[in-house]
Amino acid sequence: MKQQYITREERARNLLANPHTHILRINDNHYQMKSLATNRIYDIYSTESGWNCSCPDHIYRHITCKHALAISISIKLRQEVRERNKIVIEEISCDKCPSCQSSEIVKHGIRHNGNYDLQRYSCKVCRKRFSFNLGFEKMRVSPKVVTSAMQLYFTGESLRNVQQFIKLQGVDVAHSTVYKWIKKYTELMKIHLDSIVPQVGDTWRADEVYVKVKGDKRYMFALMDDETRFWIAQEVADSKFKHDARNLLRMGKEAMQVKPRVFITDGLPAYHDAFLKEYGAVKKGSPIHIQHISLHGDRNNNKIERLNGEFRDREKVMRGVKKEDSIIFDGYQIFHNYVRPHSSLDGKTPSEACGIEIQGDNKWKTLIQNAKMKN
C-alpha cells in the first residue's frame, strides 16, 4: 500500500499540536525549538527573505522546513486569536442621557465647579438635567488636571514638581492633595483592571530589584510576559535570598488564567523552588525553567531588568517608598501596561499588544470612567 505523503505544513501543524513541543521565544526575530527525535536545539531566525532554520532539512534542501513553518503558523494563530478576542475599553461619550439613554439632549447652561466650568445638559424625553463628569464627581478641578498630574507623576516627576506644574495652570493645591488623587484613582482602576484577562504569550520572565521602603532595604519581585512586555504581577519582600517566590508565580497564574510554557529567570534558587511547586515537576511536556542566564547575547534577562530599572528610577525621585502598600507599585504597573507606549512594541502599550484597546486621547480618563461605571 502506497504511503500517504504529508506536506511540511501538515508536519508543522502536527508539531504545534504535540504537547511535547517547546518553542522558546528569544526575541521577535529569533526562536528555538528542540527536536523531538534528537536532543538537538534548532535556531529559527526571521530574515528579509523569510525564516531560516539550523535544521538539516533547511540547510541542505534550502526550503522552508517544518520548524520555520510552525513558528510562522504559531505567530499568525496568536494574532488571529487576539484580534478575535479583542477587548475594547471605550471612551465614555456624552451623546446620551444617563437616565433614559435618549439621544435627544440639549445644552442647559454652565456649572461653575471650583476651578473649572462644567457643561450641563437637559434631556427632552425624561426632562432630567445632568452633566458628564463620571468618575470625577465632587472634584474641584477638571479631569484634565487630575490625569495630567498622574501622567507627570508616573513619568518621573516628584509630587512637588507636579504641584508646581498644576499651579502654572491656575490650580493651587497642596502636594498631599495630588497624592490623594493618585491614590484614589489608582485603587479605583486596579479593581476594574484586575477583572480583565490579557492574552499574554507563553514565555514569562521574573526578576527582582532593590527598593527602599520607609528607609529599610526591600526587594520588589516582578513577573513579566516576554512577548508583550505585560507586567503580570509584583510583590515586595524583606529578603532576596530567603523569600518564597511561590506567591508571585501563583498570582501570575491566577491573573492570566494560564501557566507559561517557558519560565526565564536569573540563578536565584527561590525561583526554581517556586517553579517546581507552582508550575509542576520537570517532566516531558511540562513547563520548562531556564536560569543562569548569560549577561551577553540573546539568552539574557535584560527585558525585565529594564522594567525594574524604570521602577528604580521612579523610586529614586521619591527618595524611597513611604510604606509597603504604597500606590507607587500598583500605579506604576497600570502606567506601564496601559498608558506608556513602548518602542520595542512599535509604539503600542503592552495592553494593546495583548489585545486590549483603550480608546480616546486621554487613556487615564477612559480607564477611570470605565472603572467608575463598572464599580
Q: Which domains does the chain have, with CATH numbers?
A: 8-84 (no CATH), 93-133 (2.20.25), 203-323 (3.30.420.10)
Query: Is it the case that residue 84 has pLDDT exceeding 50?
Result: yes
Cite the beta strand spans of 90-245 per DSSP E.
105-113, 116-123, 129-131, 203-213, 216-225, 231-237
Number of alpha helices (DSSP H) and beta strands (DSSP E) in the chain = 12, 14
- Establish how many alpha carbons lie within 13 A of residue 144's alpha carbon, considering only the half-sphere containing its beta carbon: 9
Distance CA(274)–CA(256), nearest Å, equals 17
What pLDDT sits at residue 109?
82
Looking at per-residue confidence, does 325 or 72 come out higher?
72
Instruction: State percent of the chain over pLDDT 90.
Output: 40
Average pLDDT, the chain: 85
Place 1 in a pLDDT band, splitting at 50, 70 and 90.
Answer: very low
The answer on pLDDT for 320 being more than 60 is no
Q: Write out the E strands in 114-215.
A: 116-123, 129-131, 203-213
Closest CA to 293 of 23, 26, 21: 26
pLDDT in tens, 136-172: 888 888 899 999 999 999 988 888 999 999 999 888 9
Q: What is the pLDDT of residue 362?
A: 94
Percent of the chain with pLDDT over 70: 88
Query: Is the predicted pLDDT of residue 314 greater than 70, yes or no?
Result: no
Residue 115 confidence (pLDDT) above 80: no
Report pLDDT digits (tens) over 11-61: 999 998 888 888 888 777 899 898 888 889 999 999 988 899 999 999 999
Residue 371: band (very low, low, confident or very high) from pLDDT cuts 50, 70, 90: very high
At a CB cut-off of 8 Å and minimum separation 6, what does 233 contact?
222, 223, 248, 251, 252, 255
What was the pLDDT predicted at 173? Answer: 92
Cα(260)–Cα(140) distance, integer angstroms: 46
Measured between alpha carbons, how far is 372 from 293 in angstroms, rounded to an integer? 43
Question: How many beta carbons lie within 10 A of that of residue 214, not counting itself?
Answer: 11
What are the CA-CA distances from residue 211 to residues 20, 158, 159, 242, 270 (Å)?
40, 17, 19, 16, 19
Find the mean pLDDT for residues 90-107. Answer: 83
pLDDT greater than 90 at residue 359: yes
Can you tell me the mean pLDDT for 210-228? 86
Residue 94 reports pLDDT greater than 60:
yes
DSSP 8-state assignment for residue 320: S
Dihedral, CA of residue 10, residue 11, residue 17 and residue 18, to nearest 10 = 160
Q: Of the ranges 219-233, 264-278, 349-363, which one carries the lowest mean pLDDT score?
A: 264-278
pLDDT at 87: 93
Please calculate the CA angle 289-294-296 and round it to the nearest 5 degrees. Answer: 135
pLDDT at 22: 80
**What is the arithmetic mean of pLDDT over 49-78?**
91
Q: Helix %, strand %, coil % for the chain, to 5?
A: 40, 20, 40
Which range has the top average pLDDT, 180-194, 257-271, 323-337? 180-194
Binned at pLDDT 50, 70 and 90, residue 202 comes out as: confident
Tell me which of 121 and 292 has the higher pLDDT.
Answer: 121
What pLDDT does 268 receive?
Answer: 87
The answer to whether 240 and 181 are in contact (CB under 8 A) is: no
- The owner of cell 502636594 is 175
